[in-house]
Amino acid sequence: MPSFVDSNALKISIIGAAGGIGQAMCLLLKAQLHTLIPNDANSDPKEMNMHIHMALYDVNNDAVRGVATDLSHIDTPVTLSSHSPNDAEGLRDCLIDTDLIVVPAGFPRKPGMTRDDLFIKNAEIISGLADNIAAYCDMSKIFILLISNPVNSLIPLMGQRLVHHHPSSDIERRIMGVTKLDIVRASTFLHQLSITDGIEKRTNNMPEIPVIGGHSGDTIIPLFSRAKIYPKLSRAQIKYLIHRVQTGGDEVVKAKNGQGSATLSMALAAHKVVMKFSSLLLGLRKSIHGIYYVSLWSHSKNQPICSDSNILIPLIDGCKYFAIPVYINKQGTYAIEYQIIEKMADFERSSLLPNSISKIKANIETGLAYSRQ
């Protein structure tokens, strides 16, 4: 395993790497991460010496060893290591010196369950993981991307566990709930509808639809009023699309009929997010922009996460966690695109927003109450 004393190295720790999402995401990352690094002779020599390491951890000992060995035969320069509770210091070795922790660990839904039904089991996993992160990681620099459900409650829970161990840390600026799959779905479902309904469009690019709020049912707020390349979307079509994005997860759970939830589309969505954060952490970009479920308030410092929180929090009725476009640098969230709320169409603001906010607030309280136990 390479030494991570080298400031040009990026270590990514994947917790739950042997699961449905974990395996497919690791495949995409092993195949693609190195493409971020410039490889032409005119590049900055510092960039030429960059390397990336993926540390895979799972409680399923044999599976994670097998996945890492299998992936290690793929001909890219990204290096790999495998860690499990079978190793004396499995989780510690995976987490030590890491820059980015990606968490698809936890139980997936079965038909008839809501994401909230996963809370008790997955809260135990995430809270144990948070205690280990607090013990082994550099709280002043790590980023955490949380995929496990229910995201709306587990982000507050993880943030509070870490702050409990490190009361003066600003870690809440660097913990992101991954809601990218909702954005991927919004884009895909609109494109599909445009073909079946023959909707007139202005370009052949895939549409980019912001999806804000939370990641469950009607906490998910897809903003199809922003579908500028489809100027003639009808109200009925928009209503159909909103419902389809809000129930996209159920569609897969139902189709898999007891064999889990979305894994491949989620792996693709997570891969897009990890690529972006990797370019930031390698120093190839000074800042990145994207929609994540973030804390708007630093509970450790009892102050806004950044000055834009002061504008956003009243706009969303005092809600302190929300999926919203944010600007992120190596220190974490530094600006929030709160204007997206001001620009919402009337029907989005009056019918989608209040419902989402009241449910997210309840989900946040569930996470915070657990962390206080």
58 is a site residue for ligand NAD (CB under 6 A): yes
Q: Which is nearer to ligand NAD, 95 or 241 (CB)?
A: 95
d(CA 347, CA 141): 40
291 is a site residue for ligand LMR (CB under 6 A): no
11 is a site residue for ligand LMR (CB under 6 A): no
Q: Are 222 and 241 in contact (CB under 8 A)?
A: yes
Query: Which of ligand LMR, ligand NAD, none has residue 253 at its interface (CB below 5 to 8 Å by kind)?
Result: ligand LMR
Interface residue with ligand LMR among 51, 65, 83, 115 (CB under 6 A) is: 115
Closest to 295 (Cα-Cα) out of 115, 146, 76, 75: 146
Instruction: Give me the half-sphere count of Cα atoms (radius 13 Å) on the Cβ side of residue 222.
Output: 30
**Binding piece for ligand LMR, criterion CB under 6 A, among 132-140, 247-255, 271-279, 353-361:** 247-255
d(CA 112, CA 124): 22
Q: Going by C-beta distance under 8 Å and a sequence separation of 6 or more, which residues neighbour residue 18?
A: 56, 58, 60, 63, 64, 66, 67
Residues 325-364 that bind ligand NAD (CB under 6 A): none
> C-beta of 51: minimal distance to ligand NAD in Å?
25
d(CA 331, CA 347): 36
Helix axes 151-165, 353-372, angle to 10 degrees: 40
181 is a site residue for ligand LMR (CB under 6 A): yes
Interface residue with ligand NAD among 148, 153, 187, 219 (CB under 6 A) is: 148
Q: Output the six-digit token pair for 131.
A: 């205690």
Residue ranges for the known binding site are 16-22, 58, 109, 115, 122, 147-149, 185, 266
Residue ranges for the known binding site for substrate are 109, 115, 149, 185
Enumerate binding residues for ligand NAD (CB under 6 A): 15-16, 18-22, 57-60, 104-109, 118, 122, 125, 147-149, 151, 178, 181, 215, 260-263, 266
